[in-house]
Amino acid sequence: MTSPSSNSIWLYRYSLLVVFATVLLILAGGLVTSHEAGLAVPDWPLSYGQMMPPMVGNVFWEHGHRMIAGTVGILTLVLTLWVQFGKKCARIKKLAWLAMGAVVLQALLGGLTVILLLPPAVSIFHACLAQTFLCLLVALAFFLSPPFVSAGLAPAAASASNTGTAQRPWLFKFWVLIFAAVYVQLILGAIVRHTSPSHAVVFHVIWAFVVIGLIFLGVRAVLVTLPERQGPARTALTLGLLVIVQFFLGLGAFLYTQVLAHGYAPRTAEIFFASAHHTNGALVLALSLLLTLQVRE
Amino acid sequence: MKKFMFVLMAGLFVCSQAALAGNVTGSAAFSGTAPAKTEIVMAADPTCASLHTEPVYTEEAVVNSNNTLKNVFVYVKTGLEGKTFPAATTPVSFDQNGCHYMPHVTGVMVGQPLEIINSDSTLHNVHSLAKESKEFNLGMPIKGMKIKKTFEKPEIMVKMKCDVHPWMNAYVGVVSNPFFAVTGEDGSFEIKDLPAGTYTLAAWHETFGEQTAEVTVADGQPATANFSFSG
Ligand code: HEM
Ligand SMILES: [Cu+2]
């Protein structure tokens, strides 16, 4: 298996499609929260007792989110089965099952938020699991990617045989730490978003400076130590850019959700900043993971 | 003969009760500048938008033309301790009409049915944010649909909202006695047949908070309680 078969390439491309659909799903979920539409459909799994209710008012956001989620669930099932029937190693197969489990659990949690009338703990868990699921898919896509597959190695073997990080295991460890720090920031952000008034915002803002500092250091380390490797360098630069964008989107979200007066319904600017910050935050987390995996090779 | 005696006794009893009670009237005055009106944009649901030809405004602060406040909930805060009153059985109507709650502020007794109606040809979810009673969220997708709900514990006030139409919200005062009222277009209220005694009445307003007033009700005498809010 030195050159990836066309089946492998299609499997890899398909996994990217699932990743992309999941980013859209996270955006759709963020829009539900921003429109305060979480309870616009009071029943689950049906919507007003139907498969397809009239998409009026906030039903559009809540039911739309359910439809995209259903699609992602099916896409994930196909991905998992495809991985099982392909000639993949056991760890990749397990990872696929883990992603499948996560998406099922996520759907159940989504249902629970509706039935229990949005208790903050369930909403926060649902928000964090969404991005954890994205991370699982990113890892899966990474292990299915042609450079990785053509190395003909299982994930475990890959790191043992490498030439790069053998001398630089600290870089991998540093990125594991950065990924963990971003994950903590996601949890803090979810707490801010689902509790009010939220004192967690103070910690979220303070931690943002830690995260931004760490990402800058980590990006610089990648560019300095692995300048010959295009993959990590590209990811690092994109991540550096996204985290700057994230900072300003965070400022906007802070201004519109915490400082300025609210109208009878969320304003467009508030929806824009909060949802863009939410989805871009998911991208920051996903790219941190990707870079961690790349420097591990 | 026995029956006649019974009716007579019952009649006397009722009269004596009435004699020992009085009506309380008053109003909720408003001074200061009335907040600017906010027009509601109903474009998110074309059916809602089509139900109105005139602009519709939010109701968090409705100042009447005689400088009084509409939608003030007046209730007995203290003075009825230890007394129990059976829950009224007549339902209180709570209508979703024109993608608007009618009325915006109302009251029910603990255990008294609140009859929630959907008069619109679009769907609503009616979501009670009660803290003392069980919270509920019900779908009302069909025009003409009615649901009766009761509350288990007194609460000033239970917020109701529709999550489909973010502009729709209302308040229900849940009390353990039948002595409450809501001010209308002229800012006045009347609480009927309050037993003789001394009370603290409270007047709650969504935006301007709560005011209290002492009132003494003597046998069969009308009493007054006036409140003044400032913006
Ligand atoms: C590195 C940087 C950051 C990351 C990765 C990040 C991540 C996130 C995420 C993922 C959420 C949404 C969680 C959810 O919806 O479940 C969130 C919410 C939020 N973040 Fe950040 N954030 C960062 C920096 C900032 C900064 C610098 C500020 C403010 C100055 C900020 C302010 C907020 C606010 C106000 C919310 C809540 C928005 C709402 O209530 O809708 N964030 N953050
Ligand atoms: Cu509605």
User: The pTM is what?
Assistant: 0.90
Taking alpha carbons only, the member of B88, B97, B89, B92 closest to residue B145 is: B97
| CB crowding B154-182: b at 16 or more within 10 Å, else e | bbbbbebbbbbbbbbbbbbbbbbbbbbbb
To the nearest whole Å, the CA of A280 is away from the closest chain B CA by 26
Q: For chain B, list the domains and their CATH numbers.
A: 21-223 (2.60.40.420)
pLDDT in tens, A2-48: 455 788 899 999 999 999 999 999 999 999 999 999 999 999 999 99
Q: Which long-range contacts (CB under 8 A, 24 or more apart) does B46-51 make?
A: B46/A56, B47/A56, B47/B99, B47/B120, B47/B121, B47/B122, B48/A56, B48/A57, B48/B98, B48/B99, B48/B120, B48/B122, B48/B165, B51/B98, B51/B99, B51/B120
CA distance A127 to A24: 14
CA of B164 to the centre of ligand 2 (A): 5
Q: Are A280 and A217 in contact (CB under 8 A)?
A: no
Q: What is the pLDDT along chain B (231 residues), one digit of tens a residue?
A: 455 555 555 544 444 444 588 999 999 999 998 888 899 999 999 999 999 999 999 999 999 999 999 999 999 999 999 999 999 999 999 999 999 999 999 999 999 999 999 999 999 999 999 999 999 999 999 999 999 999 999 999 999 999 999 999 999 999 999 999 999 999 999 999 999 999 999 999 999 999 999 999 998 889 999 999 998
CA distance A18 to A130: 13
In chain B, the residue whose alpha carbon lies closest to the alpha carbon of A59 is B164
Coil, strand or helix at A136: helix
Please state the domain extents for chain A: 1-157, 161-297
Write out pLDDT tens, residues A254-267. Answer: 999 999 988 889 99
Please list the alpha-helical segments (H only) found in chain A. Answer: 6-34, 59-85, 90-115, 120-144, 146-150, 155-161, 169-194, 200-225, 230-254, 268-296
Q: Is the dihedral of CA B120, B125, B127, B133 positive or negative?
A: positive
Cα–Cα distances in Å, from B9 out to B5, B158, B219, B220? 6, 41, 20, 20
Query: CA nearest A25: which of A117, A129, A162, A124?
Result: A129
B66 touches chain A (CB under 8 A): no
Do B137 and A37 make contact, defined as CB atoms within 8 angstroms?
Answer: no
* A32: contact with B, CB 8 A cutoff: no
CA gyration radius for chain B?
20
User: CB within 6 Å of ligand 1 — which residues?
Assistant: A 30, 33, 127, 182, 185-186, 189-190, 192-193, 201, 204-205, 208, 211-212, 243, 246-247, 250-251, 253-254, 257-258, 274, 277-278, 281, 284
Give the Cα separation of A29 and A279 in Å (integer): 9
Q: Report residue A50 as tokens.
A: 């139907």
The residue nearest atom 23 of ligand 1, judged by CA position, is: A208
| CA–CA dist B178, B205 (Å, integer) | 19
